């Protein structure tokens, strides 16, 4: 059995999930540690894959209009490995799905689409793929739509508040990172900027020198390009934890539907509660929300979920009971995890461009 994390390790993990750009010296000052200690901890955590980094593309700045959350039950009579293999084949043909988790009798997929017609094409592809002999492997999918024009989203992962609660740290909590209303734009990029963005998405741990070698430019040129992409708001760097290593037994994906007659002030106040602040991936609009949480065990799940949902239930703001999909981390499998490069290629019109395809083993469960 793996040893529990030391307090110093928890602090480094928490600090990096707050801000993935923090240097070792910044972390050391923040938590009163030696810089050499922080450097050693960071290296150890990365070498053991307890943490990894991702460059999350800014989909709204690539002209994407809509997020879709798909989830549903799968046939318990079919072996999980068989269902997973079939869904992986579908996902290979659907670059818009960047995250997917399967559990015992459950699957969820997170996707972003430029247009509604692209989503319909993906759904039709799913239906065709699971016809005939694969029919028993198909999930009973629900789709929840979040058009950016009328939605507030937080799609660059936000693990820090949940980790602060799980770790029980004696340091200030993160300020809330609440969903935002993001304007859809199609930021103009040069060909070399597009290629650099693709490689930043595909190889998040690569140095500027390594990316320079891939695109045939100098290291300084890539450094300048990366800084331009940051100024244009084309991606966000995040630190992602390997959840099961912290005795986190359960993950909950929650779909909430709100009464359509709620006034704007009441609905806005609801989004300043813990059910938003503790979610690491959040999509919401006035009528619906989709949130994600981590729990130490079943007792923790019952206590925390009741605490978060109680005000919503007592104030009678929901249209029906929350739909909660509870997944054991022991049985969960990441089918897609921060799988951004294929969709960025498609969105930027460079689907034919590819580097040396490297698939990082970056399972979050």
At 295, which helix (H) or strand (E)?
A: strand 288-295
pLDDT mean by block of 10 residues, the chain; 365 residues = 80 96 96 96 93 96 97 95 95 96 94 97 96 93 96 94 93 86 95 96 95 94 96 96 80 95 91 93 96 95 95 91 92 92 94 50 43
Quick check: 195 and 210 in contact, CB under 8 A? no
pTM: 0.91
Q: Determine the Cα–Cα distance for residues 44 and 38; give it in Å rounded to an integer.
A: 10
Q: Which of 5, 14, 4 is nearest to 169 (CA)?
A: 14
At 141, which helix (H) or strand (E)?
A: strand 140-147
Q: Which of 84, 54, 47, 161 is nearest to 332 (CA)?
A: 84
3-state secondary structure 64-120: CCEEEEEEEECCCCCCHHHHHHHHHHHHHCCCCEEEEEEECCEEEEEEEECCHHHHH
CATH topology for the 188-232 domain: Arc Repressor Mutant, subunit A (1.10.10)
Quick check: 317 and 258 in contact, CB under 8 A? yes
Domains 1-48 and 188-232 share a fold: yes
pLDDT at 359 (0 to 100): 43
CATH number of the domain at 1-48, please? 1.10.10
CATH topology for the 59-149+334-347 domain: Alpha-Beta Plaits (3.30.70)
Domain 155-177+244-328 has CATH 3.30.390.30: no
Judged by DSSP in three states, 178 sits in: coil
Q: Determine the Cα–Cα distance for residues 211 and 313; give it in Å rounded to an integer.
A: 51
Quick check: 276 and 291 in contact, CB under 8 A? yes
Q: What is the DSSP string of 219-235?
A: HHHHHHHHHHHHHTT-E
Q: Determine the Cα–Cα distance for residues 205 and 217; give it in Å rounded to an integer.
A: 18
pLDDT at 344 (0 to 100): 96
Length of the chain: 365
Token pair 């000052």: residue: 29
Q: Determine the Cα–Cα distance for residues 339 and 98; give it in Å rounded to an integer.
A: 5
Burial 97-123 (b: 16+ CB within 10 A, else e): bbbbbbbebbbbbbbbbbeeebbeebe
CB atoms within 10 A of CB 300: 16
Judged by DSSP in three states, 294 sits in: strand
Domain segments of the chain as ranges: 1-48, 59-149+334-347, 155-177+244-328, 188-232
At 310, which helix (H) or strand (E)?
A: helix 298-314
Residue 88 in tokens: 């992986």
Quick check: 255 and 285 in contact, CB under 8 A? no
Helix axes of 116-129 and 80-92: crossing angle, nearest 10 degrees: 140
Q: Which of 292, 274, 287 is nearest to 320 (CA)?
A: 287
């Amino acid at each position: 059995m793996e040893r529990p994390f030391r307090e110093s390790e928890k602090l480094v993990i928490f600090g990096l999930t707050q801000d993935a750009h923090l240097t070792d010296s910044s972390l050391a000052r923040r938590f009163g540690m030696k810089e050499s200690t922080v450097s050693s901890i960071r290296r150890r955590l990365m070498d053991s894959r307890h943490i990894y980094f991702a460059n999350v593309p800014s989909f709204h700045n690539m002209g994407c209009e809509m997020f879709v959350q798909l989830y549903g039950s799968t046939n318990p009579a079919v072996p999980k490995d068989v269902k997973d293999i079939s869904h992986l084949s579908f996902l290979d043909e659907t670059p818009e799905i960047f995250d997917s988790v399967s559990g015992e009798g459950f699957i969820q997929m997170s996707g972003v689409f430029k247009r509604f017609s692209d989503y319909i094409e993906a759904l039709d592809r799913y239906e065709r793929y699971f016809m005939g002999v694969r029919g028993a492997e198909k999930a009973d999918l629900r789709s929840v739509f979040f058009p950016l024009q009328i939605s507030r989203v937080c799609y660059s992962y936000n693990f820090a508040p949940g980790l602060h609660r799980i770790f029980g740290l004696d340091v200030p909590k993160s300020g809330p990172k609440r969903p935002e209303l993001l304007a859809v734009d199609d930021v103009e990029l040069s060909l070399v900027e597009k290629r650099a963005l693709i490689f930043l998405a595909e190889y998040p741990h690569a140095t500027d020198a390594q990316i320079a070698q891939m695109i045939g430019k100098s290291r300084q040129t890539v450094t300048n390009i990366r800084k331009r992409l940051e100024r244009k708001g084309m991606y966000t760097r995040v630190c992602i934890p390997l959840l099961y290593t912290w005795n986190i037994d359960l993950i909950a994906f929650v779909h909430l539907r709100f009464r359509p007659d709620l006034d704007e002030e009441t609905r806005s106040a609801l989004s300043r509660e813990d059910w938003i602040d503790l979610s690491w991936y959040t999509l919401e609009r006035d009528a619906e929300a989709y949130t994600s949480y981590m729990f130490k065990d079943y007792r923790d799940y019952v206590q925390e979920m009741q605490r978060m949902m109680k005000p919503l239930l007592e104030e009678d703001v929901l249209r029906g009971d929350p739909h909660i999909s509870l997944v054991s981390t022991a049985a969960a499998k990441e089918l897609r995890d921060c799988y951004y490069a294929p969709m960025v290629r498609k969105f930027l019109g460079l689907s034919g461009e590819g580097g040396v395809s490297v698939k990082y083993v970056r399972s979050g469960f």
